[in-house]
Structure 1
Amino acid sequence: MSSSPNPTMTIPRYEDVLVAHERIKPFIHETPVLTSRFLNELTGAELFFKCENLQKAAAFKVRGACNAVFGLTDAEAKIGVATHSSGNHALSLSYAAGRRGIPVTVVMPSTAPQAKKDAVIGYGGVIVECEPSTSSREAVFADVVAKSGADFVHPYNDPRVIAGQATCAKELVNQVLNLDSVVAPIGGGGMISGTCLTLSTTNPTIKIYAAEPLNADDAARSFKAGHIIADDAPNTVADGLKVPLKDLTWHFVKNHVTDILTATEDEIVAAMKLIWIRMKIVVEPSSAVTLAIILKNPEVFKGKRIGVILTGGNVDLDKLPWMKT
């Protein structure tokens, strides 16, 4: 596969990020950056946690969703929007559509966390369930769009969404100077693509590391192979990172990511618990994979100033992964 995306796909530019940030500011938080002396000593690095778990809808995906929704014309918005998502994009698009007062339908796997389903419904979204595989998700979604004509806001392979997600790194580099690296989770690649878009333009010396579950390591295998390798239904506690790269996100990953590092299920859960204990904040497993790969690879990060993007905090408190069943 070529390093370039589909020629019909528009690659967002940094100018699009600047426009997106102005557009979405009324609807998002500029999330705080937190530090932990304990975690700095444990890792031997200076860690700066960008807390998107404290974002509206408790997820960074509100940024991209709001950029897409509020960029629609009135005629387009009237028809509504639709997407497929395991959770955070679904609830984020529901949040954005609710703020604009337009219809939203989301296709979600039946196995999606109940906390995320409840949030979608709470924001006014209509859920259509599918089987927990990429192929089922896309087939059910195609039927939904054919019937409604709604604007498809892809969870990550959408230039509007990537430009919105890029505003997170834009805030981070203004909040913390002289970063050596930024670590962000990777599933479909929306956040990592946005991070690449911002840093390759504003701070190209900053290294970009993607963090991925070993049980869903298709992005890491793609990175090594030089072409997209897509798993249909990986099984990992990090439910937000089960989806594969697509052409647009692959463009950014291939050209700008320094490396993709993986962590086991036990390492992800341990990092999630450590963040709760030491920082007193709620993060989901898909966020904790960042700290997990830093702990696992001290030689990569020791002595460096590291931006760590905690992407979300939508957790089912009745089913914490370290609880005994």
Structure 2
Amino acid sequence: MRSLLDEYDALLVDLDGTVHHGRRVIPGAAEVFGTARQRGTTVRFVTNNAARSPAEVAERLAGIGVAAEPAEVVTSAQAAAAAVADAVPEGSTVLVVGTTALGDEVSAAGMRVTRTCTDDVAAVVQGHSPSTGWADLAEACQAITAGARWVACNTDPTLPTERGQLPGNGAMVAALRTATGLTPTVAGKPAPLLLDRAARTGGARRPLVVGDRLDTDVAGASAAGMDAMLVLSGVSTPRDVLAAGPGRRPTYVAADMTSLTGPGRRLTVGPRPGWRVEVAEGALLASSVAGCTDPLELLRALCVPAWQAGVESVKAADEHTAAVLARLPGT
């Protein structure tokens, strides 16, 4: 059977939780990219984080053993700068709330960057920076309420770090939403702008989005009209998958990125030959047909009945199924 690498011409891959956890590469991820490139599959590392330039992201990836070129990295800062360039005339003054890397992208798009509110500010671009403070938000608040276009690189409420989940750009965006009563245009996932840009830079006609979050990666793929593979190496859990609403339902479910080199048909969400699933008394009742021992095969079989019936509770009809279900965390 054909692998997923044979069925798609580009991989649009999330980073944290998909490729690495902090400074630790998820086993097998680096090798998958080498295989993809050998087969002529375009690789794009797609990140909602606007704090670093593509060159900095590529350097950090190389530092943990993942080969990457700056041209293979697409950030929400780039997508936000492009969104501003579409919204205001070239040469306009844009107030940047974020890192120098974000300011550089806005400059590269033909805009004049400022950090303070002046009468000629045409747009505000907001991305994550650990140094953002009240004074920065105050300048942005003035410009937005005066009529400046507002573009947020992303609205992720938290930022994964080695210390755990810390406030992300979405938390700062929420502060300005409260202060202004307005809502920004969003460049990053789950909005389609970032993934569309990543696909265009790779000349992709049939890209596959790979990520660990239903609310950003899979939802972004859905918004962009792309297929998505959810990997269970990061944030979203099996129970999250069963509870996923429309627009957050992956095409494929896998343990991690190494599944990309395996048969794609086996990763597809839907009926599986080894499992029978029915809805009974408000729960999913699963039973083994052929002694299958793969818990992810069971999860794939459970998804469509769960989505159709709107239930996520799972019961085992036999001891074998109960043992396999016990190996599927979060169900």
TM-score (norm 2): 0.32
Structure with greater strand share of residues: 2
